[in-house]
Amino acid sequence: MPIPQLSNDPVENSKQVLKALKCVAFSSMQVSDMIKRKRERLVKRLQAVTDETELLRTDIIENVMNQRQRLQQMTEIEEDIERAQTLGNPEISKELSDELKAMKEEDHRENVLLRNLKRTVRSRVRVKKGLMDEQRAVEKSMAIFNCKNNLIQNMDEFDEDGESSRASQSDYDLSDLDDDIDMDVGRAVQESNNYPKIRVAQPGDDQEEEKAEQSSVSAWSFDSDSQTGSSAKDGRRRSVSFSPLPMAGLVEEDIVMHRPQVVEEVQSENELEIEDQDDCHRRFE
Q: Directed axis angle between helix 90-170 and helix 10-87, to 10°?
A: 170
One domain, residues 132 and 51:
yes
18 occurs within a structural domain: yes
pLDDT score of 7 more than 50: yes
Number of domains in the chain: 2
What is the rounded average pLDDT of the residues 54-59? 93
Percent of the chain with pLDDT over 90: 25
Q: Give the type of residue at 121.
A: V
One domain, residues 39 and 135:
yes
One domain, residues 164 and 272:
no
pLDDT, one tens digit per residue, over 96-126 is 899 999 999 999 999 999 999 999 999 999 9
Structural domain boundaries enclosing 268: 198-284
Q: What is the pLDDT of residue 256?
A: 46
One domain, residues 148 and 85:
yes
Element (H, E) at 263: helix 263-284
Q: What is the pLDDT of residue 173?
A: 47
193 occurs within a structural domain: no
One domain, residues 224 and 137:
no
279 occurs within a structural domain: yes
One domain, residues 126 and 163:
yes
Cross-strand pairs, 73: none
180 occurs within a structural domain: no
One domain, residues 73 and 161:
yes
4 occurs within a structural domain: no
190 occurs within a structural domain: no
Residue at a domain's end among 144, 175, 206 = 175
* pTM, 2 dp: 0.46
One domain, residues 32 and 171:
yes
CA distance 169 to 162: 10
pLDDT, one tens digit per residue, over 183-215 is 555 565 565 555 444 444 444 555 555 555 555
- CATH code, domain carrying 78: 1.10.287.2610
171 occurs within a structural domain: yes
138 occurs within a structural domain: yes
Q: What is the pLDDT of residue 252?
A: 45
One domain, residues 156 and 225:
no
**Within 13 A of 95's CA, how many CA atoms are on the CB side?**
6
Greater confidence, 246 or 128? 128
What is the rounded average pLDDT of the residues 137-161? 76
CA distance 96 to 83: 11
Element (H, E) at 57: helix 10-87
Q: DSSP string spanning 162-177?
A: HHHHHHHHHT--HHHH
pLDDT score of 92 more than 80: yes
One domain, residues 131 and 244:
no
Q: What is the pLDDT of residue 98?
A: 92
Residue 208 has φ and ψ, to the nearest 5°, of -65, -40
One domain, residues 134 and 226:
no
One domain, residues 65 and 143:
yes
Instruction: Spell out a b/e string for 178-213, using b for 16 or more CB atoms within 10 Å of the CB, else e.
Output: eeeeeeeeeeeeeeeeeeeeeeeeeeeeeeeeeeee
pLDDT confidence bin for 273, thresholds 50/70/90? confident
Q: What is the pLDDT of residue 232?
A: 45
Q: Give the type of residue at 88.
A: G
